[in-house]
Structure 1
């Protein structure tokens, strides 16, 4: 009886049979041939064998019906381009060749030689283009692989001083109308989720609020920073086994917390509100209030996002989707899961605070001992959910892979 070889799971490090389809501990696919990236369809044998099966063209188009993209099963094809199938010819080619061959004499061999020459040069050109395309795709993938490319500039740890004075809290009437419209477009199957009293609770009416001077962490608290608190006995060790794994596809009940989320430079996740409070107390501060968080995120003039009123897909780590709503994790923001803290310079707020939109949603201080609140959206959120005014209720005891925190100092 042959001995079953063992391999180490690349995601969680557990010993696993090399013949197993996936790691039993964390759900990571062990067989590369069976690994399918989100948003990409698996290659079927029938599609490689020259059989009758051909991808059926779907009716979806880009936003607003612009037609920039037409969707085929398993891939996206830009308008004006056509996938070449075996045996396909442009219309009229067969007739033209028949007429040419019918002329006889030396013209036919010459035309034949010309076609052969054209095929050779065309094949060479296709090979060169394919090689260039593969190189470009490899470089692009390398840039997406976490840690493969170092950003030109990274945010530095420390605190940002926020001066005393007034700021605009909440949404203007125009912004409220836009948010309601956006919600109805996103939640067509569940319009009840777009009731204004529930959707925009705490976000309207817009009014001016005056705050005392305070300071706030420039960056989200990292795994490494939290571990220092644990090492000194002031914080509880993170219970990763009891943490809910949330992704852009929703709650993953059979998936364990990936190892990448435990790296020292990543934003800490899987902490409850009380654990976040304990850390901030150890650091000499407290969780920010709703007003402290919002003022630091949007400045005094009330922008929708930390960088302004218009969405910018490369300014935050968010739950990316393509033009037809399929997940494209990491394709736009560079990270499939959470990002290391201080990576999105384009998303820095007017106050100079990093990642106030996306990456991890952040605990804020509330009065309810059982019900907490988080702000800013996370790496699983859509652009609508990343608005700076959004207030999302969470159980204070919740442990999730999309929730972390930062601390504020003074100003109470």
Structure 2
């Protein structure tokens, strides 16, 4: 393959507005499919990254404020502009091998819960630099602040099916990987034990994208080495991981405030109840989500999610009593 083909696939002209990130993402994905390096990323390793040894693993103390990043008070752009919804359809048709799966009405309806984009004020707070790890959660269990995970009730993947009950593989069970198979209630209890709370949707989204409405934590151009995501057939051929990765393994994907794995690795529980129109009806200052509703929100994509689901505005409801093999969490605290 010639360097010209790779360069052409990854190169982009200066663009502005909603269409820019879609065209940049199409170009980057095309380059990835061709076996090319993304122009916005560092060269990929010649082989999958080595897993850290036990001596390299230094889980943060669950009560350690130094493992948090500060997000100052102020406004930010929250949500997706209405005119980007049609571009999501365009993107799907560019990257989906089965265009029949890119039904315009279905896709627009599916992502309308991200609209409208609006300016929202959020008071200052701090949020975990990393997702909570297995070691941190088990420490909370030993301290009596958390309940043990019930893997018989956890939802696992069996091909395209979801089944209750399973066992974490050897990689996912490592101390420095994000904790999974925790329900919303268990995640909330951990954060309370650690002196904080689950972040609200507004806190999570501001920590992930900053103030300028960027599509991904690092900017508007998809970077295949910026997150642990579902490239190809979940082979780890690009990011080096088939399932979860040690927290903080993708510094190129850091948010404007230094938070890591805000997209990719695992989805994350947040505090808010879910409502389809929460962004249209929410308060303009420190929104807390709807007062009623049975579902809770998860954010941030995960190792089994494609780039479209790794956008900082992506929001998905889940039933809070359920625990999933691809959902974890991080904690937040008000500014001191």
Q: TM class, shorter-chain normalised? A: 0.7 to 0.9
Assess, with a 3 A threshold, how the Cα gap between structure 1 residues 168 and 63 changes in structure 2: closer, same or farther.
closer
8 A contact 1:319–1:382 mirrored in 2:
yes
Q: CA deviation at 1:198?
A: 3.2
Per the alignment, in what secondary structure is the counterpart of residue 152 of structure 2?
helix
Q: CA deviation at 1:182?
A: 2.2
Higher relative contact order (CA 8 A, sep 6+): 2
Task: Choose which of 67, 88, 112 in structure 2 pairs with 1:201.
Answer: 112
Assess, with a 3 A threshold, how the Cα gap between structure 1 residues 349 and 189 changes in structure 2: closer, same or farther.
same
Q: Deviations over 1:151-185 (max 9, x none)?
A: 9xx99961111111110011234533321322355
The aligned counterpart of 2:16 is none
Q: TM-score, normalised by structure 2?
A: 0.72
Q: Deviations over 1:207-254 (max 9, x none)?
A: 10111111111110001111111001110111123222238x534648
8 A contact 2:243–2:303 mirrored in 1:
yes
Q: Counterparts of 1:149 and 1:236 in 2: how far apart (Å)?
A: 25
Is structure 2 residue 306 aligned with structure 1 residue 382? Answer: yes
8 A contact 2:89–2:104 mirrored in 1:
no
Q: Deviations over 1:21-59 (max 9, x none)?
A: xxxxxxxxxxxxxxxxxxxxxxxxxxxxxxxxxxxxxxx
The aligned counterpart of 2:91 is 182
Is structure 2 residue 275 aligned with structure 1 residue 351? Answer: no
Assess, with a 3 A threshold, how the Cα gap between structure 1 residues 281 and 196 changes in structure 2: closer, same or farther.
same
Task: Choose which of 274, 278, 281 in structure 1 pairs with 2:192.
Answer: 281
8 A contact 2:234–2:304 mirrored in 1:
no
Is structure 2 residue 226 aligned with structure 1 residue 320? Answer: no
The aligned counterpart of 1:403 is 327
8 A contact 1:364–1:374 mirrored in 2:
yes
Q: Counterparts of 1:246 and 1:69 in 2: how far apart (Å)?
A: 25
Is structure 2 residue 282 aligned with structure 1 residue 373? Answer: no
Q: Deviations over 1:91-149 (max 9, x none)?
A: xxxxxxxxxxxxxxxxxxxxxxxxxxxxxxxxxxxxxxxxxxxxxxxx945x4453479
Per the alignment, in what secondary structure is the counterpart of residue 223 of structure 2?
coil
Q: CA deviation at 1:260?
A: 1.9
**Which structure has the greater CA radius of gyration?**
1
The aligned counterpart of 1:146 is 51
Q: Deviations over 1:50-77 (max 9, x none)?
A: xxxxxxxxxxxx999x99989xxxxx9x
Q: CA deviation at 1:352?
A: 1.1
Q: Counterparts of 2:173 and 2:202 in 1: how far apart (Å)?
A: 30
8 A contact 2:85–2:108 mirrored in 1:
no
Q: CA deviation at 1:329?
A: 1.6
Assess, with a 3 A threshold, how the Cα gap between structure 1 residues 372 and 252 changes in structure 2: closer, same or farther.
closer
8 A contact 1:243–1:257 mirrored in 2:
no
Q: Aligned residues, how many?
A: 274
Q: Deviations over 1:314-340 (max 9, x none)?
A: 11000111xxxxx15211111111011
Q: Counterparts of 1:190 and 1:175 in 2: how far apart (Å)?
A: 19
Q: TM-score, normalised by structure 1?
A: 0.60
8 A contact 2:152–2:166 mirrored in 1:
no
Q: Counterparts of 1:190 and 1:338 in 2: how far apart (Å)?
A: 27
Q: Counterparts of 1:228 and 1:361 in 2: how far apart (Å)?
A: 22
